[in-house]
Amino acid sequence: MRKVLALLVLLALVATCQPALALHASDVWPQFRANSQNTGTADGIAPRSGQVLWSYKLGSPTGSSPAVADGKVFIGDSAGYVWALDAETGQKLWNYKTFGAIESSPTYLDGRIYIGSDDDNLTALNASDGHLIWTFKTTGTVKSSASVAQIHDNKTGALKTVLVFGSYDNFLYGIDTDGKELWRFKAASFIHGKPGIYNGMAFTCTCDRTMYGIDIETGHRAMNVTFGDYSAASPTALNGIVYGTARGGKVFAVNIQNQSLKWQVDLQKTIESSPAVGNGLVILGDKGAEVVALNNDTGSKVWSYTANGAVDSSPALVDGMVFIGDGTGYLLALNASTGSKVWDYHSDGAIDSSPAVAYGKVYFGTEGGTVYAMGSKDPQVRILAPQPWVKVKDKFLVQVEVFGTEITTVEVGNDGGNWTKAARNGNAGSSIWELTFDPKDLPNGEHKLYVRATNATGTGTASTYIVVKKPGHPKPFIPGLDLPTALGATIFAAVVVQLFRSNAFKRGRR
């Protein structure tokens, strides 16, 4: 009888459950290389054309790379200032003066900015107003950006956030968000790049020709692999492999489990660029004026693109596009599959800063002291919810992300008609639009759910769609079951068979 009851409960749950619609936060780029794994990738919209949407003159050169989050662009400059600009307009919101030049890139987390400086400090600032929260003192310049990891607190068992970064005093540090040191690990030489975080370990390539794997809970060394040359780049840790570059021209992949080289290639050109890893590729730049894509499994070359000058910038890989700067001031937008140029833009100075892609735009800084926001003024749209091929029966939320200049109208309709206006979600600067869609008047079967957006001039319109399916009449045997009939019938039959066996057994015992 217990088995019968379990089957009945399962049947009730299946019959009443509706598919969950995943809600997607607006894409952001909150730290150098986009995330703590250092993949250089993000889930967002990449502009297919390059127009200057705004630019802001800092007054000093910048090799810092922007972080984009909370509707703001954060970046440092060679005069020691940390800047916050409005991501939509480029308007200055605040700046804060440290006591040394800034080459490090900011890390945004929970309303705070963490950034290193040549004043030997990692500095924590309030992201809203730039007010100082604390500084953490090392004994060397801090050019490494901070990665974010989590550990379990020994006392409470709760998750605790750890900031992991390196210094030119040869130490890799783990500190908490209050600026308290948890541990430090001493390498044989200074640490320039941002550590990559994966599976409880922090991976850092140092200037002693070694890649270390450090246990984030304890700060103890868990592995080290020698790769033959020093590295100033930030390694990528992904799917059990660490990808890195060495200044002498080597690109390598290290298997974490057996601590051995999976592959290594020598491009025979100086490399200071950090790799982007995604779409089956490892993409980087070199001082020989090339952008190179390697197969991430074998290291074989897939494509290369010749830039106008040395490429110290690190690539951003988003939405099938690669964005990277060169030493002559060109921002390049390449097709990630082929390496062919989609568009480029000549800025006011060399681009050592690595691009950040967020809110449908590309952000970067230059040695000319300017921060740029590039993108398309025409609308760009994507449907966040529901996901493709979702079955819909009752009212459901349609959530859309829209980028562009002066978007005035976003509409949702089915099969090219029945347009209904969506509303912005949240404040006026939000890129999320949403409405509740009622499919009650739709015939049963598949439908195209369209979204279109229009800007203030009415000349720019973008449209996209997904396919949704409205279930037919109640399925045989199981009223209201929103699953394929065959599956519903199978579950129902199992219940009937179990009931029959149970009753037959009872009759036999009498």
Give the pLDDT confidence of 482-499 residue by residue, as tens digits: 444 444 555 555 555 565
Residue 486's SS3 state is: helix
Of 105-109, 181-185, 240-244, 430-434, which gets the smallest average pLDDT? 430-434
- 22 in a domain, yes or no? no
What does the pLDDT read at residue 181?
98
- 20 in a domain, yes or no? no
| pLDDT band at residue 473 under the 50/70/90 scheme | low
Instruction: List the structure tokens of 371.
Output: 């921060």
Strands 316-318 and 41-42: parallel
347 and 458 belong to one structural domain: no
pLDDT value at 7 more than 60: no
Instruction: List the structure tokens of 207.
Output: 């200037």
Instruction: List the structure tokens of 249.
Output: 């021209």
| pLDDT band at residue 21 under the 50/70/90 scheme | very low
What does the pLDDT read at residue 371?
98
pLDDT value at 16 more than 60: no
Three-state SS across 149-205?
EEEECCCCCCEEEEEEEECCCCEEEEEECCCCEEEEEECCCCCCCCCEEECCEEEEE
Mean pLDDT across 276-287: 97
Give pTM, 2 decimals: 0.84
Three-state SS across 256-308?
CCCCEEEEEEECCCCCCCCCEEECCEEEEEECCCEEEEEECCCCCEEEEEECC
What does the pLDDT read at residue 150?
93
How many domains does the chain divide into?
3
435 and 322 belong to one structural domain: no
486 and 453 belong to one structural domain: no
Evaluate whether 236 touches 78 at the Cβ level (below 8 Å). no
Q: Which of 326, 341, 375 is the last residue of a domain?
A: 375
| CATH number of the domain where residue 422 is located | 2.60.40.10
Of 472 and 18, more confident: 472
| pLDDT band at residue 286 under the 50/70/90 scheme | very high
Model confidence pLDDT, tens digit, residues 389-418: 788 888 989 998 888 878 889 999 988 888
169 and 309 belong to one structural domain: yes
| CATH number of the domain where residue 257 is located | 2.130.10.10
Domain membership of residue 422 as a residue range: 379-470
Model confidence pLDDT, tens digit, residues 87-123: 999 999 999 999 999 999 999 999 999 999 999 999 9
Type of residue found at 313:
S
User: What is each CA distance from 51 to 42, 115, 462, in whole angstroms?
Assistant: 21, 30, 17
Mean predicted lDDT score pLDDT of the chain: 87
> Nearest-CA neighbor of 442 among 417, 407, 410, 478?
417
342 and 390 belong to one structural domain: no
- 4 in a domain, yes or no? no
Q: Which of 340, 375, 410 is the last residue of a domain?
A: 375
401 and 449 belong to one structural domain: yes
- 10 in a domain, yes or no? no
Of 141 and 503, more confident: 141
- 477 in a domain, yes or no? no
- 35 in a domain, yes or no? no
| pLDDT band at residue 476 under the 50/70/90 scheme | very low
Q: Which of 375, 398, 420 is the last residue of a domain?
A: 375
Model confidence pLDDT, tens digit, residues 359-397: 999 999 999 999 999 998 888 888 888 887 788 888 989
Type of residue found at 430:
S
Please tell me the distance from the alpha carbon of residue 260 to that of residue 179, in angstroms, as a whole number: 35
Residue 496 CA to its chain's centroid (Å):
49
Mean pLDDT across 282-306: 98
396 and 328 belong to one structural domain: no
Instruction: List the structure tokens of 413.
Output: 């309709």
312 and 193 belong to one structural domain: yes
Model confidence pLDDT, tens digit, residues 224-280: 888 778 888 999 999 999 999 999 999 999 999 999 999 999 999 999 999 999 999
362 and 392 belong to one structural domain: no
What does the pLDDT read at residue 498?
61
391 and 405 belong to one structural domain: yes
Model confidence pLDDT, tens digit, residues 70-86: 999 999 999 999 999 99
| Long-range contacts (CB closer than 8 Å, 24 or more residues apart) made by 472-481 | 472/444, 472/445, 473/444, 478/11, 478/15, 479/15, 480/15, 480/16, 481/14, 481/15
384 and 292 belong to one structural domain: no
353 and 499 belong to one structural domain: no
User: What is each CA distance from 193 to 83, 128, 205, 260, 403, in whole angstroms?
Assistant: 21, 27, 7, 21, 32
Please tell me the distance from the alpha carbon of residue 281 to that of residue 222, in angstroms, as a whole number: 27
